[in-house]
C-alpha cells in the first residue's frame, strides 16, 4: 500500500509547488541560500557576497578581500525552511570553500484511504559542497562539486552536481563581468523516477556607478552599485518559480546596492518575467568583523512573504 500512498502524495505536492513556488524540490538550488543573495533578487553571478558564491559563481571566492564565515536562515513560504552555512578560506591567489545548504518541510499527513492518517512524514533536500578558485591577472576561475540528497516519505535518493565560473575585473575593480554554468549532474531514482537538476547558464555584470558624500556634519560616503544577471535553464524545470515558463527563454534580474560608509547597506532587486516574486529588498549592518543581513521577498500571488536572516564573520 505504500507506493500508492507515495504517488498520490507526490502528485498533490508537485501540483502545489507549481502553483505556489514554495521552492521545495531540487529547485531549492535556484534559490539564493543567503540573505544577501535574496536581497538582490539573486543577480549575483558577478557580485562578491562571501561564501555563498559556492552556489552562484565559485570564481568569485578568490576576489573576496578576506576569509569569512556565512550563516543564514530563511523562512520560505508554505512552511519551508532553508538553512545555509559556509566558510571561505581566502589566500593570495586562491580560495577554498565548504558549504552546507538544507531545505526542509514537515508535518505532511500520509493516507492510505478515507479515515485516519497513517502518520506524518517530512520532505528534505541537502547539498554538501566544496569549491576552489584561482586568480590570474584580471581573471579568476572556480569550480564547485556538490553531494545531493533528497528524502520524501520513506524514499531517498543521492546525486551530484558540478558548477563552474569565470570572472574578469576592469577599471581598478569597479567593473566586473562573469559567466557561470550551474548544477550539471544527475540524481538516483526516487522510487522510480529521478529528479531533474535545475541546471542553468548565467552571465552577470556588476558596476560601481556613483560615489558621493552626504551633506551635513557627518559627511558619510555613499557608493551606489548596479548588478545585472541573465539566466537561462539548460532544460525545463517544472518547479521553476516562473508561472509561465518557457525553457527556451532566459530571464533578467537587476539590483541596486547602496554602501553607506561601509557601515550600512541597502539593497533592492527586480526580476523581469512571469515570476511570482518579482521584487526583493534587503538591509545590512557591518560592525567589524561582523555583518548582519536581512532580506524580504514578497510573493505577488499572495501566498506569503519570505524572510531571511544572515550573519557573516570576517577573519
Say if residues 52 and 29 touch (Cβ distance below 8 Å): no
Nearest to 45 by CA among 275, 196, 192, 200: 200
* Residue 1, pLDDT score: 33
* Residue 115, pLDDT score: 63
* Residue 241, pLDDT score: 56
Beta strands in 37-138 (DSSP E): 68-75, 81-90, 94-110, 119-136
pLDDT, the chain, mean: 86
* Residue 276, pLDDT score: 86
Lowest mean pLDDT among 139-143, 188-192, 216-220: 216-220
What fold is seen in the domain 2-314? Porin (2.40.160)
Helix (H, G, I), strand (E, B) or coil at 11: helix
Say how far apart CA 178 and CA 192 lie, in whole Å.
38
pLDDT band (50, 70, 90) for residue 120: low
The share of the chain scoring above pLDDT 90, in percent, equals 66
Has residue 87 got a pLDDT over 80?
yes
Has residue 201 got a pLDDT over 80?
yes
The share of the chain scoring above pLDDT 70, in percent, equals 83
Tens-digit pLDDT profile for residues 262-306: 999 999 999 997 788 899 999 999 999 999 999 999 998 777 899
Cell digits of residue 90: 581566502
Q: How many residues are recorded in the chain?
A: 315
Has residue 5 got a pLDDT over 60?
no
Radius of gyration of the chain (CA): 20
Say how far apart CA 66 and CA 58 lie, in whole Å.
15
* Residue 7, pLDDT score: 36
| Most trustworthy range by pLDDT among 62-71, 212-221, 234-243 | 62-71
Beta bridge partners of 253: 229, 271
Say if residues 315 and 69 touch (Cβ distance below 8 Å): yes
* Residue 21, pLDDT score: 42
Say how far apart CA 128 and CA 146 lie, in whole Å.
6
Say how far apart CA 300 and CA 174 lie, in whole Å.
34
Torsion sign (Cα): 165, 171, 173, 175: negative
Tens-digit pLDDT profile for residues 127-184: 999 999 999 999 999 999 999 999 887 789 999 999 999 999 999 999 999 999 999 9
**Segment 199-208 mean pLDDT:** 96
Has residue 39 got a pLDDT over 90?
yes
> Within a 13 Å sphere around the CA of 294, how many CA atoms are in the beta-carbon half?
5
Torsion sign (Cα): 261, 207, 278, 126: negative
* Residue 13, pLDDT score: 39
* Residue 91, pLDDT score: 93
Q: Which residue has the cell 543573495?
A: 37
* Residue 194, pLDDT score: 83
* Residue 135, pLDDT score: 97
Helix (H, G, I), strand (E, B) or coil at 265: strand
Helix (H, G, I), strand (E, B) or coil at 13: helix
Has residue 223 got a pLDDT over 90?
yes
What's the Cα-to-Cα distance from 272 to each of 43, 140, 225, 260, 296, rounded to whole Å?
11, 29, 19, 27, 18
Task: Dump the DSSP string for 116-173.
Answer: S--EEEEEEEEEEEEEEEEEETTEEEEEEEEEEEEEETTEEEEEEEEEEEEEEEETTT
Amino acid at each position: 500500500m505504500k507506493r500508492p500512498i507515495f504517488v498520490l502524495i507526490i502528485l498533490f505536492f508537485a501540483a502545489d509547488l507549481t502553483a505556489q513556488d514554495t521552492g521545495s524540490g531540487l529547485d531549492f538550488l535556484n534559490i539564493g541560500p543567503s540573505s544577501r543573495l535574496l536581497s538582490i533578487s539573486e543577480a549575483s553571478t558577478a557580485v562578491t557576497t562571501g561564501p555563498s558564491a559556492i552556489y552562484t559563481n565559485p570564481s568569485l571566492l578568490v576576489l573576496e578581500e578576506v576569509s569569512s564565515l556565512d550563516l543564514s536562515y530563511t523562512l520560505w513560504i508554505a512552511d519551508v525552511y532553508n538553512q545555509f552555512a559556509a566558510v571561505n578560506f581566502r589566500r593570495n591567489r586562491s580560495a577554498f570553500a565548504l558549504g552546507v545548504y538544507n531545505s526542509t518541510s514537515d508535518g505532511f499527513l500520509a493516507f492510505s484511504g478515507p479515515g485516519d492518517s497513517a502518520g506524518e512524514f517530512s520532505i528534505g533536500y541537502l547539498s554538501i559542497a566544496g569549491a576552489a578558485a584561482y586568480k590570474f591577472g584580471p581573471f579568476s576561475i572556480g569550480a564547485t562539486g556538490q553531494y545531493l540528497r533528497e528524502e520524501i516519505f520513506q524514499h531517498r535518493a543521492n546525486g551530484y552536481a558540478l558548477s563552474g565560473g569565470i570572472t574578469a575585473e576592469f577599471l581598478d575593480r569597479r567593473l566586473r563581468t562573469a559567466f557561470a554554468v550551474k548544477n550539471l549532474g544527475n540524481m538516483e531514482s526516487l522510487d522510480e523516477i529521478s529528479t531533474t537538476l535545475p541546471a542553468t547558464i548565467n552571465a552577470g555584470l556588476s558596476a560601481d556607478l556613483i560615489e558621493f558624500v552626504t551633506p551635513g556634519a557627518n559627511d558619510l560616503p555613499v557608493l551606489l552599485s548596479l548588478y545585472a544577471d541573465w539566466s537561462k535553464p539548460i532544460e525545463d524545470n517544472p518547479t521553476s518559480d516562473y508561472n509561465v515558463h518557457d525553457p527556451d527563454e532566459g530571464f533578467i534580474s537587476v539590483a541596486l546596492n547602496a554602501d553607506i560608509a561601509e557601515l550600512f547597506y541597502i539593497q533592492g532587486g527586480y526580476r523581469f518575467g512571469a515570476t511570482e516574486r518579482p521584487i526583493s529588498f534587503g538591509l545590512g549592518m557591518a560592525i567589524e568583523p561582523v555583518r548582519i543581513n536581512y532580506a524580504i521577498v514578497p510573493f505577488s500571488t499572495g501566498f506569503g512573504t519570505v524572510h531571511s536572516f544572515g550573519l557573516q564573520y570576517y577573519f
